[in-house]
Amino acid sequence: MLDLDKRSITYLPGVGPKKAEILRKEAGIFSYEDLLFYFPYKYVDRSRFYKISEISGNMPYIQLKGRILYFDTLGEGRSKRLVAKFTDGTGTIDLVWFKGLNYVKEKYRLNTEYIVFGKPTEFGHAYNIAHPDIDSLDRAEQVAKGLTPFYNTSEKMKRAFLNSRAIQDLQYTLLSGLNWNLPETLSPDVLNRIHMMPMAEAIRNIHFPESAGKLRDARIRLKFDELFFIQLNLLRTAEIRKSKLKGILFPTVGYYFNTFYKDYLPFELTNAQKRVVREIRADMGSGRQMNRLLQGDVGSGKTLVGLLAMLLAIDNHCQACLMAPTEILATQHYATIRELLGDMDVKVALLTGSTKKRERDRILPAIANGEIQIVIGTHALIEETVVFAALGLAIIDEQHRFGVEQRSRLWTKNPQVPHVLVMTATPIPRTLAMTLYGDLDVSVIDELPPGRKSVLTLHRYDNKKALLYDFLRKEIRKGRQVYVVYPLIEGNEKLDYKDLEAGFETFKEVFPEYRVCMVHGRMKASEKEEEMRKFVSGEAQILMATTVIEVGVNVPNASVMVIESAERFGLSQLHQLRGRVGRGAEQSYCILVSSYKLSEDTRKRLEIMVNSSNGFEIAEADLRLRGHGDLEGTRQSGEGIDLKIADLAADGQILQFARDVARDILDEDPDLLSEQHRILNERLKILFSKKVNWGMIS
């Protein structure tokens, strides 16, 4: 074995400690392997040479063959530059450097044939190429024929002379040092089945494509590889859980479930809810540990399903917990569940980061001795100090997705592993779900409770505010309430709060006859509560907020959702917000306010919102338009899905194939023990070493 993953990038010729530090920090390149898997983001065709006489306005990168006639240093101070007059016999062009002047002058000789590569810019009546790549003829033979790779580099990397070209050189050094040979990552049976390029050839061609066709094949192989190992890891984890972990058996449907269902449930369950409850019951009665994802659009009634599952746990002398991503949501869940349970004798507690010490001192022992049956809270639930007497069911309401690892931490709290139900309000595209939650069984609530009116969505520009205010006034006169939401973007909080506060002042001026309240993440919990209370009670007609609250509140009388700077929200987030209205009997509205100047993509995104109310459709569109890296939640999700080459929007087929192959391999050899599968095991260890072991916790 070459152990490329264990060989530090520091020792690659041309790197050294300083550059290694930058590569680690800026590009996550620690080892030889990391470098090889640092793929180009584009290629430029260098199969053709241009003549200087052919150069015209607005050309892409081109390549010229010729020689330098002379060097000249021009300008002073910051505009000091080195110019090389370059000719190929058809004309001359200036090559210009603003940095590394002496180095360049030393390195290239006059009247020697070079290949020059760069983007010509028009300057006065002539063209020049700034900071071109220059190769001697023999070197060009090796690296500059055909398609040339371009690598992402940060400013810091460029300053340390690690520009795209330098990365290309490092790849070249590394690959030629390895004799252009690399170990395979897949076992012979997988290779036989998939009919794809060997790994060595794929890596060679991704960096130095022999042809467009080979590059395409290399990309397919590498995408497959990436997705295959993710799936193999997920499926094996699920396998280990299923075979090694005994689930707590919940055979009884008893007093709590039945009493609630018969006497307290305020409405008939939808058919979808009934089906999902059956699926959950079957899991819990199977003797295997449940790991189920419950997907359902906003307002589809997941909370109720969660509560029924918790009552089943209590019927079987276990405790249950429900974990929400924010304090407000946890508090809201707590209130909802208290209300649903009415005077039923179930002990429910709320535990969040801001639970007072005295309250905490009361709750924690009662959780530990089993007196408290249901605990609702935030991340505070997975702190060391929280010990359950018998946790039988953990529900995660995952507006912001917890990663696989965070989910697993809940398990260690208990002598026996609890059943886990993940509820997600944001519909997730199939491919993303397969990758984020591929280890879970899936239930879907695909039906809304009866009587919901669809929300009318409109897109308005912010230079027509007066019309918007008129409309709001009309609705408020009818007795309705209005949400106004401002974006809150990480890293930009200061400005965003200013926007919100300015908006708040404006609204107070525009609507002197009504009460306007405001909620944001910088307020004290008690202030927030007071403001929310005003809105919920109907004292205030307008609630202005940042997304912090994710408007997890349920106010059926609020029928208008105004979203300011809507262009700055993700589609799924917009959909989520829209779900907060349309809960009462009245016609509801969602008004997306944006500036007039919008990019084509943004315009399309807002159009989708106006035209579709289907959460899955919207999520798919979001994935297509923004890519998974930008999708909400995926970045925060502990482990994230940091894909190097596969694209969940475009590579659904490869993903499905990868999952099928992984499934078949595991069916045959669940522990990957056979001689030929050893290689897969090794690879899993390299890729998921931090994550491999948690599946064994039991």
Which range binds ligand ADP by CB under 6 A, 299-307, 348-356, 412-420, 667-675? 299-307
Query: Using CB under 6 A, which residues numbered 256 to 285 contact ligand ADP?
Result: 267, 269-270, 273
CA distance 46 to 48: 5
Identify which of 436, 393, 216, 410 has the alpha carbon closest to the alpha carbon of residue 306. Answer: 393
Member of 4, 375, 425, 563 binding ligand ADP (CB under 6 A): 425
CB of 264 to ligand ADP, least distance (A): 12
CB of 322 to ligand ADP, least distance (A): 11
Residue whose C-beta lies closest to ligand ADP: 301
CB of 456 to ligand ADP, least distance (A): 20
Q: Which residue type is seen at 476?
A: I
* Cβ proximity to ligand ADP, 441 vs 447, nearer residue: 447
DSSP one-letter code for 459 = E
325 binds ligand ADP (CB under 6 A): no
- Contacts by residues 522-527 (CB-CB < 8 Å, ≥ 24 positions apart): 522/497, 525/327, 525/354
- What phi, psi does 468 have (nearest 5°)? -60, -45
Report the alpha-carbon angle 246-248-254, nearest 5: 155
* Cβ proximity to ligand ADP, 425 vs 654, nearer residue: 425
**Which residue matches tokens 């924690």?**
364
CB of 271 to ligand ADP, least distance (A): 9
CA distance 429 to 307: 26
CB of 425 to ligand ADP, least distance (A): 5
Query: Using CB under 6 A, which residues numbered 54 to 93 contact ligand ADP?
Result: none
* Cβ proximity to ligand ADP, 187 vs 399, nearer residue: 399
CB of 47 to ligand ADP, least distance (A): 55
CA distances from 234 to 239, 242, 279, 662, 692 (A): 9, 12, 22, 10, 10
Residue pair 551/545 in contact by the 8 Å Cβ criterion:
yes
* Cβ proximity to ligand ADP, 298 vs 618, nearer residue: 298
449 binds ligand ADP (CB under 6 A): yes
554 binds ligand ADP (CB under 6 A): yes
CB of 422 to ligand ADP, least distance (A): 13
User: 3-class DSSP state for residue 379?
Assistant: helix
CA distance 442 to 422: 9
Which range binds ligand ADP by CB under 6 A, 48-56, 69-77, 239-247, 296-304? 296-304
CB of 573 to ligand ADP, least distance (A): 14
CA distance 446 to 449: 10
**Which residue matches tokens 């946790």?**
391
* Cβ proximity to ligand ADP, 299 vs 429, nearer residue: 299
CA distance 232 to 659: 7
* Cβ proximity to ligand ADP, 184 vs 268, nearer residue: 268
* Cβ proximity to ligand ADP, 516 vs 545, nearer residue: 545
* Cβ proximity to ligand ADP, 300 vs 541, nearer residue: 300
CB of 396 to ligand ADP, least distance (A): 13
Number of neighbouring beta carbons within 10 Å of residue 629? 13
* Cβ proximity to ligand ADP, 298 vs 330, nearer residue: 298
CB of 509 to ligand ADP, least distance (A): 34
* Cβ proximity to ligand ADP, 187 vs 303, nearer residue: 303
CB of 607 to ligand ADP, least distance (A): 25
Member of 82, 147, 280, 304 binding ligand ADP (CB under 6 A): 304
552 binds ligand ADP (CB under 6 A): no
Q: Give all strands (DSSP E) within 478-557, no chain letters.
A: 481-486, 516-519, 542-546
557 binds ligand ADP (CB under 6 A): no
CB of 247 to ligand ADP, least distance (A): 25
Member of 301, 438, 503, 633 binding ligand ADP (CB under 6 A): 301
* Cβ proximity to ligand ADP, 449 vs 670, nearer residue: 449
Member of 40, 118, 209, 296 binding ligand ADP (CB under 6 A): 296
Angle between helix 302-315 and helix 327-341 axes, rounded to 10 deg: 60
Query: What is the β-pairing status of strands 558-563 and 441-445?
Result: unpaired
Residue pair 691/639 in contact by the 8 Å Cβ criterion:
yes
Residue pair 84/71 in contact by the 8 Å Cβ criterion:
yes
CB of 267 to ligand ADP, least distance (A): 4
* Cβ proximity to ligand ADP, 301 vs 438, nearer residue: 301
Q: Which residue type is seen at 254?
A: G
Residues 6+ apart with CB under 8 A from 149: 40, 42, 43, 164, 168, 171, 206, 207, 208, 209
Which range binds ligand ADP by CB under 6 A, 107-115, 292-300, 310-318, 526-534? 292-300
User: 3-class DSSP state for residue 573?
Assistant: helix
- Contacts by residues 106-114 (CB-CB < 8 Å, ≥ 24 positions apart): 108/68, 108/84, 108/134, 109/68, 110/67, 110/68, 110/69, 110/70, 110/71, 111/67, 111/68, 111/69, 112/67, 112/68, 112/136, 113/65, 113/66, 113/67, 113/137, 114/65, 114/66, 114/67, 114/68
CA distance 392 to 373: 10
Strand partners, 423: 294, 397
* Cβ proximity to ligand ADP, 329 vs 661, nearer residue: 329
Member of 185, 300, 378, 546 binding ligand ADP (CB under 6 A): 300
* Cβ proximity to ligand ADP, 255 vs 267, nearer residue: 267
Member of 167, 298, 350, 619 binding ligand ADP (CB under 6 A): 298
User: What is the four-CA torsion angle of 348, 354, 355, 356, rounded to 10 degrees?
Assistant: -170
* Cβ proximity to ligand ADP, 449 vs 640, nearer residue: 449
**Site size for ligand ADP (CB under 6 A):** 15
Query: Using CB under 6 A, which residues numbered 99 to 118 contact ligand ADP?
Result: none
CA distance 385 to 382: 8
CA distance 536 to 553: 8
CB of 296 to ligand ADP, least distance (A): 5
Which range binds ligand ADP by CB under 6 A, 86-94, 190-198, 301-309, 662-670? 301-309
Number of neighbouring beta carbons within 10 Å of residue 94? 18
CB of 632 to ligand ADP, least distance (A): 16
* Residue-wise DSSP of 96-137: EESS-HHHHHHHPPTT--EEEEE-EEEETTEEEEES-EEEEH
CA distance 525 to 486: 19
* Cβ proximity to ligand ADP, 299 vs 392, nearer residue: 299
Member of 148, 187, 291, 303 binding ligand ADP (CB under 6 A): 303
Member of 302, 400, 407, 659 binding ligand ADP (CB under 6 A): 302
User: Which residues lie near ligand ADP (CB under 6 A)?
Assistant: 267, 269-270, 273, 296, 298-304, 425, 449, 554
